[in-house]
Amino acid sequence: MAVIYPHVETLLSFLFFLLTSSNASAVRTSSAVSTRSESVDIDWETLGFGLVHTDYMYITKCSQGGSFSEGELVPFGYIEISPSAGVLNYGQGLFEGLKAYRKVDGSILLFRPEENAARMMMGAERMCMPSPSVSQFVEAVKATVLANERWIPPPGKGSLYIRPLLMGSGSVLGLAPAPEYTFLIYVSPVGNYFKEGLSPINLIVETAMHRASPGGTGSVKTIGNYAAVLKAQSAAKARGYSDVLYLDSVHKKYLEEVSSCNVFVVKGNNISTPAIKGTILPGITRKSIIDVARSQGFQVEEKAVTVDELLDADEVFCTGTAVVVSPVGSITYLGKSVSYGGSGVGLVSQQLYTALTRLQMGLSEDKMGWVIEIK
């Protein structure tokens, strides 16, 4: 087996992990893990959405047809993987994204982690991979967050982004499911996703390239979906746009999603968003915003949304774990640009952003039962 980026500390902890794995289902904390309490050297005011190395990551493995057993927290670092791993050769991999927030009283909050667990299970089924159970996923997330507690930004300064990965780590040469799988979680403190911060983003509708097609994997969080959007995204950024909005690949007139988030269109008291039909990601923020908007009296419809409706909207916004609720300032389609919300953030986008983030940060009563306090 070849070694990518040999790294002594990581190799040692990985060996420790291999030697000491057992079949219990809890998260095991090796003696090497002690939650560090000294404060971290970060300027919380300038935090963006980039990787910051934290203290620990969670890792567990299982064979094809098996189930994940007890995982372990090990120091954050490089992993050893075969050059013929399924994930490297055939893209057999999934990821998730969720966030932990620190409350003013110091406690730590997670937002609907069981939804991410369920989505990973669904994706694993599509990608022929075993997956952790919902409780194993949630326990692993909690343990990883607590071990990295000192990296959670102070209230109002950002969040701890949690990135679970599921990958075919075993060797294959001919096309087949990998014989071994790795479930890993790492975390990083983050601020705003778009460089615009909370200011409106400018999107261009992509008419030549498509993100997904019926029967494909557009509705699962597989890694290849994200590699596939880089070309259009890079071209759009080079032209000064923030990101790309995709259309359906059959009729080429219905909205799908933006590279990394779902899209919503506001007209008066009506809010519409593309229905989940196999080609768009069933976002957890999307689902939450639909419920929050309905609870605030908006008529929300999940349906086929046309480009014409988009161009005729009062407001447009995007939702996702990373982007939260991101107002759209303009859309460009076939050379024509339409602006929304005057020069600032639209009222509906602002209202929904505030309602959701107050819930996530524990600043308003959680009537939905979405927030889990882990300390």
d(CA 245, CA 214): 18
CB 274, min distance to ligand COI, A: 17
Please, which residue, 82 or 319, has the CB nearer to ligand COI?
Answer: 319
CB 36, min distance to ligand COI, A: 26
Q: Mark residues 297-336: x for contact with ligand COI by CB under 6 A, - for none.
A: -----------------------xxx--------------
Please, which residue, 97 or 153, has the CB nearer to ligand COI?
Answer: 97
Please, which residue, 13 or 349, has the CB nearer to ligand COI?
Answer: 349
195 has catalytic annotation? no
Total residues at interface with ligand COI (CB under 6 A): 6
Q: Mark residues 246-265: x for contact with ligand COI by CB under 6 A, - for none.
A: --------------x-----
C-alpha 298 chain-centroid distance: 26
DSSP symbols for 229-254:
THHHHHHHHHTT-SEEEEE-TTTS-B
d(CA 5, CA 161): 24
Please, which residue, 16 or 49, has the CB nearer to ligand COI?
Answer: 49
C-alpha 294 chain-centroid distance: 24
DSSP symbols for 21-74:
--S--SEEE-TT-----SPP---GGG--SS----SEEEEEEEETTS----EEEE
From 52, 226, 276, 350, residue interacting with ligand COI (rule: CB under 6 A):
226
Q: Check residue 130 for interaction with ligand COI (CB under 6 A).
A: no
Cα separations in angstroms, 248 against 210, 212, 255, 284, 330:
7, 8, 6, 21, 20
Q: What type of residue sits at position 349?
A: S
* 110 close to 144: Cβ distance less than 8 angstroms: no
Q: Which residues pair with residue 165 across a beta bridge?
A: 95, 184
Give the containing element (helix H, strand E) for 205. strand 201-206
Please, which residue, 54 or 260, has the CB nearer to ligand COI?
Answer: 260
The phi, psi pair for 98, rounded to 5°, reads -150, 170
Q: Check residue 97 for interaction with ligand COI (CB under 6 A).
A: yes
Cα separations in angstroms, 286 against 292, 302, 323, 339:
10, 11, 11, 23
CB 158, min distance to ligand COI, A: 14
CB 326, min distance to ligand COI, A: 10
CB 324, min distance to ligand COI, A: 9
- Longest Cα separation, the chain: 61
- Cβ-closest residue to ligand COI? 97
Please, which residue, 28 or 119, has the CB nearer to ligand COI?
Answer: 119
Take residue 53 and report the two structure tokens written for it.
Answer: 């190395």
Site for ligand COI in 65-94 (CB under 6 A): none
CB 188, min distance to ligand COI, A: 11
Q: Which residues pair with residue 186 across a beta bridge?
A: 163
CB 115, min distance to ligand COI, A: 12
**Residue in 99, 221, 237, 252 annotated catalytic:** 221
Please, which residue, 16 or 226, has the CB nearer to ligand COI?
Answer: 226
Q: What type of residue sits at position 262?
A: N
Q: Which residues carry out catalysis?
A: 221
* Residues of the shown chain interacting with ligand COI in the complex, contacts defined by CB under 6 A: 97, 226, 260, 320-322
